[in-house]
């Protein structure tokens, strides 16, 4: 009883904080929380796409390792480390909210309270762990242990969702959006943890090249970038399709999205196979 009261107090405190921002408060009262959450999901998805392009660019500097190392040295300061850590916020929000949507849509789970509270707790624990790694910069974990386990968990999520939705009446692209999303939850959250456990793991050209040249990691990266680019491309298309009626303009924009994702795939795949 006392515990429930304390939890309710924390929740109302968080809500009162959010409602201090006039624009947020306007939308929560006029359109409801779900409107705000779906906009948050959208903006977080677009932020991650921006980061994805920047990431492909920085990794391309690995073709000249000295340039990569010099750039990383330049970026190794409080502001950039903070921004790198802050990326956890849109990543976590989009992953956990995406996971919540998948649970609702496929398993008809409507335990809002439990799902939301679990998301907040998992999110806070994850943010704190990543923050600890950013400050500490010296943890060690074996690549041969971490990635096969993460890939196995991702594949389990992938096949559970695939098996559950394949026979539903939704379009194939819609289904693939959910299936790729489920696969990416462990992969992306794992990626962020792994890269920042130790500074050298994610910022030293020698360490990164050695890892990327491993055949298992290479295969994993190829599968990951393919699923990611599909998910991101279809995500952008579905946002555009919300505002533009079916017709020649929408078709042209769809072609544009496909071209941009194909160019990104070219550069991303070239990185993985040629480095
Ligand atoms: C980490 C695991 C991820 C999960 C579980 C996930 C899940 C989802 C789901 C379920 C949707 C459909 C939302 C809807 O139709 O209402 C979606 C949309 C979207 N996702 Fe993801 N996603 C993930 C990662 C990513 C990443 C890494 C990016 C970008 C690089 C991304 C970009 C987008 C975009 C742009 C949309 C469209 C937004 C919208 O329509 O609201 N997602 N995601």
Q: Which domains does the chain have, with CATH numbers?
A: 31-274 (1.20.1300)
45 C-alpha to center of ligand 1: Å? 6
Q: Is the CB of 178 under 6 A from ligand 1?
A: yes
Can you tell me which residue has the tokens 């906009």? 39
152 C-alpha to center of ligand 1: Å? 21
pLDDT of residue 34 exceeding 50, the answer is yes
Give the CA distances from residue 6 to residues 16, 113, 200, in Å, rounded to whole numbers and listed in that order: 15, 15, 42
Assess contact for 190 and 150: CB atoms under 8 A: yes
pLDDT band at 248 (very low <50, low <70, confident <90, very high): very high
Q: Which residue's C-alpha comes closest to atom 31 of ligand 1?
A: 45
237 C-alpha to center of ligand 1: Å? 11
Q: Which of 81, 88, 85, 76 is nearest to 48 (CA)?
A: 88
More confident residue, 217 or 116: 217
Q: Which atom of ligand 1 is nearest to the CA of 232?
A: 32
pLDDT of residue 4 exceeding 60, the answer is no
pLDDT of residue 229 exceeding 90, the answer is yes
Q: Is the CB of 175 under 6 A from ligand 1?
A: no
Q: Which residue's C-alpha comes closest to atom 19 of ligand 1?
A: 235
pLDDT tens digits, 64-106: 999 999 999 999 999 998 999 999 999 999 999 999 999 988 8
Strand partners, 198: 138
265 C-alpha to center of ligand 1: Å? 18
pLDDT band at 1 (very low <50, low <70, confident <90, very high): very low
Q: Is the CB of 95 under 6 A from ligand 1?
A: yes
Contacts 24+ apart (CB under 8 A), 6-15: 7/117
Assess contact for 124 and 96: CB atoms under 8 A: no
241 C-alpha to center of ligand 1: Å? 15
């Amino acid at each position: 009883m006392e515990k429930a009261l304390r939890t309710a107090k924390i929740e109302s405190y968080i809500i009162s904080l959010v409602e201090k921002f006039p624009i947020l408060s306007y939308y929560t009262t006029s359109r409801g929380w779900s409107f705000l959450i779906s906009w948050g999901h959208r903006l977080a998805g677009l932020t991650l796409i921006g980061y994805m392009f920047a990431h492909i660019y920085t990794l391309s500097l690995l073709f000249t390792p000295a340039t990569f190392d010099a750039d990383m040295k330049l970026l190794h300061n409080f502001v950039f480390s903070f921004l790198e850590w802050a990326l956890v916020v849109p990543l976590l929000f989009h992953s956990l909210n995406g996971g919540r949507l998948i649970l609702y849509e496929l398993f008809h789970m409507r335990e809002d309270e439990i799902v939301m509270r679990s998301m907040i707790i998992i999110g806070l624990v994850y943010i704190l762990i990543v923050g600890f790694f950013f400050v500490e910069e010296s943890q060690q974990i074996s690549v041969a242990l971490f990635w096969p386990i993460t890939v196995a968990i991702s594949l389990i999520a992938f096949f559970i969702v695939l098996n559950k939705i394949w026979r539903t009446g939704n379009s194939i692209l819609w289904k693939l959006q959910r299936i790729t999303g489920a696969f990416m939850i462990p992969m992306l959250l794992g990626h962020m943890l792994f890269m920042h456990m130790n500074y050298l793991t994610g910022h030293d050209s020698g360490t990164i090249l050695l890892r990327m040249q491993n055949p298992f990691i290479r295969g994993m990266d190829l599968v990951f970038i393919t699923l990611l680019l599909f998910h991101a491309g279809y995500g952008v298309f579905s946002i555009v399709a919300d505002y533009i009626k079916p017709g020649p303009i929408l078709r042209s924009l769809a072609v544009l999205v496909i071209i941009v994702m194909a160019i990104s795939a070219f550069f991303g795949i070239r990185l993985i196979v040629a480095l």
